[in-house]
Structure 1
Amino acid sequence: MRIAIDVMGGDYAPEEIVLGALQAQQQYGVELLLVGRQDLVETLLKKHNAPVRGIGLIDTDQVIEMGEEPVQALRTKRRASINLIMEQVKQGHAQAAVTAGNTGAAMAAALLRLRTSPGILRPAVGALLPTVVPRKPVLLLDAGANVDVRPKILEQFALMGYLYARHVLGVANPRVGLLNIGEEAGKGGQQAQETYELLKENPAIPFAGNCEGRDVLQGRFDVVVTDGFIGNILLKFAEGVGLVAMQILKEELLQGLAGTLGTMLLRDNLQKVRQRMDYAEYGGGLLLGVNGVCIITHGSSRAVGVANALRLAKEAVDNRVLDRIQEKLPSL
């Protein structure tokens, strides 16, 4: 399997992106197609003693910055690294694309190059969040691709999320919830109430009812559906809570001699806590609903997050998640 990687996208590009890609190659046996400035990439490959085989390189010095308007930037920078990784998937030279760059540009490039899957109204970003249940993340979608959507689109999100949870995450019987302000069927505005009825009546979706904000990280649901505006706020809030919790633990546990000694004794346990709360462990979000596997990982990703993004891409390809979505679309 070959994965095209946007080496120039992200806060810590290109070094952390290249390092994470090399880690994924070693751990998961994937081939790499690195897209970015050739001189920088070659220097980093030598620095990290990269293997001779299994690595391709496409040279470009065009990068879409985080603050640029996505569509306009894609038109003026046709050889931008985000454009090129999508083109490699479209042409069949790679089976998946991974970027830590501008999310809007990644979304636009995927739509322009790969197009939406037949029957899909809007693609959605599916992001994984940790829950209180070990090794049982919750899939949140949409996590930021679509700010304003109608109930029929949310119904499609629910189906795509269910198939992803079942066939990629390995959940035998995924429970799908609709993010709302209360558990009762009549809660929320018109969009929420109409979506509730669609999900309840669709036999292809194992709908488990409304999901309140406090339920998202409790492990009660395997898939939580909402629009991209709310979903992105929820995603970043959850990440912020995790960072704050770890900072508080670090500050309070190191207070005094007893705290320092206790922290030393609990070092392994604290490391496990950090791993369970760290969003980098989940690799970012899969863009569901386009004709190709595309992972949009966090702009602040370091090597471990990039490696996990490549793992996520490999799992999506191995488990034929795009084919399974197409097989089920007639149910909508």
Structure 2
Amino acid sequence: MEGGFSMVKIAVDMMGSDSGPETLVDSIKHYLKDFDDVSFLLFGDEKVLSELTKDCPDKNRIEIHNTTSIIPMEIKPLEFLRAKSSSMYQAISAVKEGLADGVLTAGSTGGFVTGATILLRTVEGVLRAGLCSPFPTRKASHPAVILDIGANNYDTEEEVYQFGIMGRLYYQHVLENQNPSVYILTNGAEEGKGTDEVVGAYRLMRERNLPGFKGNVEAREALDGNHDVIVTPGYPGNIFLKACEGVAKMMNDLIKESFKMNLLTKIGYLFSSKGFKRMRKTLDYRQYGGAILLGINGVCVKAHGNSNEYAFYHAIGVCKKMIDVKIVDKIKEEFHDSVNNND
């Protein structure tokens, strides 16, 4: 205990970010200034990290662990197991060994999902972990939590049903809404729409009376602010994620081009800039930090590979919040009860 607080320890893979460790260190320095109940285990090139953290405001809350390699964007399970000297492997291992309460990376998504699943294993009763992420919606500060967004290419109806349980727990305890609505992403709102696993998941949610389950939702309505938890198999979930990112970028580029056309459009921007800034803030995905791997025996957060200081700062915040609310314990309790009930 320090200062009346229980010190949270977060392991960070410092070497996987597109922008290098400098940006991540800036975020960590900022976070250390703002919170006195968190410490960091940094995994990466010791010489580089020591230089970057030499002016850190509270160096006694930073531990640097030297590693000599980086997990590539694509890696097979056996290759990951051989990469014991990598920053990601060592950061995940810190959670397994009880040295850290959670792990955070901006590196390879595939490598992280593989590594966390192999080293930490899934919670008893959870068939498959899912990548979960809050999405900005039309309603400010009212995100839609969607999973799975790419941890798996294929999921069974039982796994999709379990995503509903875990997504609901995340919304309740991390986003602090005790009665979230739950929907299945598919190609029509009517019952019976979708692939076999989606139709089967719908049936299970109805038969087992999943709290908050409302039915299906189409992609065009998913982000209207009226749908809290949305579950989907990983393949279409990842397509939905990439499509949203692409449309957002296209809209941003088109708006910029429109206002730069001539003097009148530039003057028009001056009159409308306040509204566009509010829209940009509402749609800014960086405020949510990144994706969360739910169903694993440990808090695992995957920040965006191109995270700037603001985005990675919020990724740290997500990781700490999940640790504080004991989200892994909540999932264990839920699935322990489910296993016992099925027995």
* TM-score between both structures, scaled by the size of structure 1: 0.94
Q: Specify the alignment match of 1:40 in structure 2.
A: 48
| 2:309 equivalent to 1:331 | no
Q: Would the aligned equivalents of 2:134 and 2:144 in 1 still touch at CA under 8 Å?
A: yes
**Offset at residue 50 of structure 1 (A):** 4.3
Assess, with a 3 A threshold, how the Cα gap between structure 1 residues 217 and 28 changes in structure 2: closer, same or farther: farther
| 2:88 equivalent to 1:104 | no
Q: Specify the alignment match of 1:27 in structure 2.
A: 34
Distance 2:102 2:274 in 1: 35
Query: Which amino acid is the alignment partner of residue 51 of structure 1?
Result: D
| CA offset digits 1:258-316 (Å, max 9, x no partner) | 33234345444433322222222211111100110000121121211111111001111
| CA offset digits 1:88-127 (Å, max 9, x no partner) | 1111211110001111111111112111111111001111
**Offset at residue 326 of structure 1 (A):** 1.6
Q: Specify the alignment match of 1:243 in structure 2.
A: 249
- SS of residue in 1 equivalent to 2:114: helix
**Offset at residue 49 of structure 1 (A):** 4.5
Q: Would the aligned equivalents of 1:25 and 1:32 in 2 still touch at CA under 8 Å?
A: no
1:28-177 matches, within 5 Å, as 28-29=35-36, 30-46=38-54, 49-66=56-73, 68-177=74-183
- SS of residue in 2 equivalent to 1:218: coil
| 2:321 equivalent to 1:322 | no
**Corresponding residue to 1:191 among 178, 192, 197:** 197
Q: Would the aligned equivalents of 1:242 and 1:278 in 2 still touch at CA under 8 Å?
A: no
Q: Specify the alignment match of 1:229 in structure 2.
A: 235
Distance 2:28 2:243 in 1: 28
Aligned length: 330
Distance 1:266 1:53 in 2: 48
Distance 2:202 2:114 in 1: 29
| CA offset digits 1:123-159 (Å, max 9, x no partner) | 0111111100110010010011111111011111100
| 2:14 equivalent to 1:4 | no
- SS of residue in 2 equivalent to 1:219: coil
Structure 2, unmatched stretches of 5+, are: 1-7
- SS of residue in 1 equivalent to 2:214: strand
**Offset at residue 247 of structure 1 (A):** 1.5
1:270-309 matches, within 5 Å, as 270-309=276-315
- Aligned identity (percent) is 34
Distance 2:271 2:76 in 1: 49
- Which one is further off, 226-235 or 184-193? 184-193
* TM-score between both structures, scaled by the size of structure 2: 0.92
Distance 1:28 1:164 in 2: 23
Distance 1:262 1:7 in 2: 43
Query: Which amino acid is the alignment partner of residue 52 of structure 1?
Result: K
